[in-house]
Structure 1
Amino acid sequence: MYDHRDHIAELCSRLFASMPRRGQRLKAERYVRALLSVPGRKTLRNIADWMEGEPADREPAKQSVHHFISNSSWDWTRVRHALAGYVEDTVAPRAWVVRPLVIPKAGPHSVGVDQQFVPHLGLTVHGQQAYGAWLASEHTAVPCDWSLLLTRAWLDDPGRRRRAQIPAGALPAGPEEVAGRLALDASRGLPSRRPVVIDAEGLDPTRMLRVLVPAGVPAVVRVPASTPLRVDPAVLHSYSERPATADQLVAGCRRLWRPAEGRGVRAALPVVLPAAPRQPLLLLARWTAGTRGPDRYWLATTPALRAGAPYRSDEAPLALAALADTVELAFRQVSEQTGIRDFAGRSFQGWHRHMTLASAAHAAAVLGDRRAVHGVRAA
């Protein structure tokens, strides 16, 4: 798929410098190479076969890889911080993009697997539900941090917690809190603070903004067309303050529609959430060229807008929202090929270590070819 041999050693040297033992650093690099080289699913058995050069049913190879992922001492959080720093230096990203990841599973044993309602799909799925934080520019994107949603079926059962090695600090949280905390941690993780785009339709925007706004994190949050809103009376006096849905407000404010280069039509409207009337927001709507109506709606935090103040341009938050498309393309073209859905182990530690190394493999795939820094490959 890609030629990684010229740069992968340099990448891994920086990412894995925090690992205390040389053997761990070597094994991490070989694991990344295996993720980039093994055809088909990147299971521990297939990875062990590639790494050890032996048949996959040779227990020493399999057990060695399993121990390195599930029971080793290396700290995945330090590797993720190093990955974020590497991407920051290489790509000069514009924002963090937080998006959901659903991993369907047939069996019940992998950590986090449950019957779960998935907000952005509007469906109940048997599997794992997670959120990833991606650093994104206009041209490429790399996942750098992950959070796994754990239901009470896992957190309230001492036996399951012990077998899955779930840390004591893991507490019940809804998807809004999981995604919001991940976004907040990501925004604080680099010396140069970045705004956050949350591309997870179906989450409660009020709960999301309660996490991000007090921390001063600029945010653009995707919302469904049915989101109840009100026109901000401090900015637009001539419009009704009665609650209406996002699509109703956009349809009723045609004078705010205007062409968007490369994106068909756009609209921006100062609004507030009925549950948070003091927080000024911009409702953004985007039409894809050729469509009859908006295909995405976003809420963007703004500085306080007051009557008579110059209207703030919607260009910046719209440009940030467009980064979600870059992440979606990178996910489909690269992450799904580097094992992001393939871990079948049972431990919390193992899931996080595999996701960390799969993210490193993604970085190797898109950043190794310097041309990819200037554009994710077209499908």
Structure 2
Amino acid sequence: MRRHQLHPADTNGESVLATGLGAELSARLFESLQRSGQRLNAEQYVRGLLTLPGRKTLRNIAAQFDGVAAQQRVHHFISTSPWDWMPLRRDLADYARQTLMPDAWVMRPTVIPKSGLHSIGVGQHYLPDVGRLVNGQQAVGTWLASAQAALPVDWRLRLPERWLESPLRQRANIPDGAMPGTLEECVGEAVTEVAAAGNPPHCPVVVDADGVDGVALVRRLSTLGIQSLVRVHPDTQLRLDRTALPKYGDGERAAGELTTSLTRLRQRVNPGNSRTTASVIPVVAASSSRGASLLLIRRWSPAGLPDERLWLTPAGTSSLASVLALTRLPDIVARDFAAVSERVGMRDFAGRSYPGWHRHITLACIAHLVAVLGPGDTPRSTRG
């Protein structure tokens, strides 16, 4: 079975489609669309995301088709047609897992700034890295990532309270089951979807989200049998694991303070081609001194400067070098979101339709895949 690596530098989508790769991907990824017209619309929409210059709004994509009827068909296909986007996302994830050799699932939120209040899900969101409120959409992306590249396969859109009130809810066609959710709840839904997909043992989950209860999330993933690495806030209260560190006290201490003060627990490792120093501290949850043992991990630069991010992972699940390699994957996600996802319109949907947003972003995920596979890399079927 031949497998393929993502090539993030190669984003010539049109040349990829010209090789016939688009036809095979269509057969694999659009098979859940029952009508041939729907499959054709999906192919044309992806082509528009890949080839149109500028913003990939629904209006701009529809304008590439001749005739008012054709443009109306595109609007209907995205905004009001009843096709379900989740089967496409699951087929995309299945295809990527079988052919692109990802190292982990990565869950990471993003805020998409918007100038007005009319786009679906728009609200005020606080961004810790810039220290201010931003008007826009907030969504949690689920990515399949390796040291080479990352591919988005699922998204959860946060809905502020005002979007669940009448008549805005009805105008946006928001389903009855959708509820206003916190960032943590969106991450939890993403975890549930990954677990339901039958996460393989070799593919851990990395969660890089500020404001999530990292201890609780690591515990939840452990009960699901999934290896995990979860970002924690420096103020998170933890206790040293006395079974591993019997000579140390077990009072509650902030995670950030533990990593800066316990210099004896730093060690040299080699995650890849560069030597790295890391704090590796056995801890348990602050609520219990006898809970499951965790490792608190923080990278340090050769100059002795700490990485801003701190991580928790279950103790004894994998080598330190492999865990440190996982801490770098969110940077790959951020890079490829900027380099590829934004180019294929991931941020550009400006409509009010909740189903429309999900359908647009699903097809943008597929466009991201086509953009980075590279011309001439025709994949072979891995089914059967």
TM-score (norm 1): 0.88
Deviates more, 1:78-87 or 1:314-323: 314-323
Residues matched between the structures, number: 360
C-alpha spacing 1:121/1:182, structure 2 compared with 1 (3 Å):
farther
Deviations 1:253-274 (A, max 9, x none): 2222222332632121111221
**Equivalent AA in structure 2 for residue 10 of structure 1:** E
Alpha-carbon deviations, 1:218-253, whole Å to 9, x = none? 211112333222211221111221222222211222
Partner residue in 2 for 1:377: none
Q: Work out which of the residue numbers 167, 179, 191 in structure 2 matches 1:159.
A: 167
Are 1:41 and 2:44 counterparts? no
- C-alpha displacement at 1:276, in angstroms? 5.6
Partner in structure 1 of residue 322 of structure 2: 316
Higher relative contact order (CA 8 A, sep 6+): 2
Give 3-state SS (helix, strand or coil) of 1:85's partner. Answer: helix
State the Cα distance separating 1:296 from its structure 2 match. 2.3
From the superposition, tell whether residues 270 and 122 of structure 1 become closer, same or farther in structure 2 (CA, over 3 Å). farther
Q: In the alignment, residue 280 of structure 2 is paired with which amino acid? A: A
Identity of aligned residues (%): 45
**Which segment drifts farther, 114-123 or 259-268?**
114-123
Which consecutive unaligned segments of at least 5 residues does structure 2 have?
1-10, 380-384
Q: Which amino acid aligns with 2:168?
A: R
**Letter of the aligned partner of 2:299 in structure 1?**
R
8 Å contact kept, 2:296–2:311:
yes
Amino acid at match of 2:372: V
Q: Are 1:266 and 2:284 an aligned pair?
A: no
CA distance in 2, matches of 1:165, 1:276: 45
SS of 1:284's partner is: strand
1:9-39 CA-to-partner distances (Å, cap 9, x unmatched) read: 2112210011010011011011111111011
CA–CA distance in 2 between the matches of 1:151 and 1:339? 23
Q: Structure 2 vs 1, CA of residues 313 and 240 (structure 1 numbering), >3 Å: closer, same or farther?
A: farther
Unmatched tracts of structure 1, length 5 or more? 305-311, 374-379
Name the CA distance, whole Å, in 1 between partners of 2:288 and 2:88. Answer: 38
1:284 pairs, out of 293, 297, 315, with 297
Stretch of structure 1 that moved more, 348-357 or 58-67: 58-67
| Alpha-carbon distance in structure 2 between the residues aligned to 1:264 and 1:303 | 20
- RMSD of the TM alignment (CA)? 2.4
2:354 is aligned to: 348
Of the structure 1 ranges 190-199 and 209-218, higher mean CA displacement relative to structure 2 is found in 209-218
119 and 292 in structure 1: CA distance in 2 versus 1, 3 angstrom threshold: closer
- Cα drift, residue 303 of structure 1: 5.6
How far the C-alpha of 1:44 sits from its partner, in A, is: 1.0
TM-score where L is the length of structure 2: 0.87
The answer for the alignment partner of 1:307 in structure 2 is none
Secondary structure in 1 matching 2:335: helix
Q: Aligned letter for 2:370?
A: A
How far is the alpha carbon of 1:192 from its aligned partner?
Answer: 2.7
SS across alignment from 1:144: strand
Q: Distance in 1 between matches of 2:275 and 2:180?
A: 40
User: Do the aligned partners of residues 258 and 215 (structure 1) sit closer, same or farther apart at CA in structure 2, a change above 3 Å counting?
Assistant: same
In 2 relative to 1, CA 263–98 (structure 1 residues): closer, same or farther, beyond 3 Å? farther
Q: Structure 2 matches for 1:1-379, cutoff 5 A?
A: 1-2=11-12, 3-4=15-16, 5-6=18-19, 7-50=21-64, 52=65, 54=66, 59-118=68-127, 122-155=131-164, 157-190=165-198, 192-193=200-201, 194-209=203-218, 211-261=220-270, 262=274, 264-275=276-287, 277=289, 278-290=291-303, 292-302=305-315, 313-369=319-375
Q: CA deviation at 1:213?
A: 3.7
What letter is aligned with 2:208?
D
Q: Report Cα offsets for 1:278-297 as digits up to 9, x if no partner.
A: 13211110124445223321
Q: Offset of 1:119 from its aligned partner?
A: 5.6
**Offset from partner CA, 1:25-64 (integer Å, 9 cap, x none):** 01101111111101111011211122x1x4xxx6434322
Contact 2:114 2:136 in 1 (8 A): yes
The CA distance in 1 between the partners of 2:319 and 2:42, in whole Å, is 46
CA distance in 2, matches of 1:313, 1:90: 25
- Any conservation in 1 of the 2:195–2:224 contact (CA below 8 Å)? no
* Alpha-carbon separation, structure 2, partners of 1:102 and 1:125: 8
Determine helix, strand or coil for the equivalent of 1:99.
strand
CA contact (8 A) 1:263 1:286 kept: no
Distance 2:361 2:279 in 1: 38
Alignment-derived partner of residue 6 in structure 2: none
Of residues 11-20 and 255-264 in structure 1, the stretch that sits farther from structure 2 once superposed is 255-264
Cross-structure match for 2:7: none
Structure-2 separation of matches of 1:197 and 1:182: 12
Q: In the alignment, which residue of structure 2 is the partner of 1:309? A: none
Report Cα offsets for 1:171-220 as digits up to 9, x if no partner.
23211111122023123314635321001133232453464343232211
Find the aligned partners of 2:219 and 2:208 in 1 and give their Cα distance.
17
Aligned equivalents of 1:276, 1:358: Cα separation in 2 = 44
Q: How far apart in 2 are the matches of 1:302 and 1:8?
A: 44
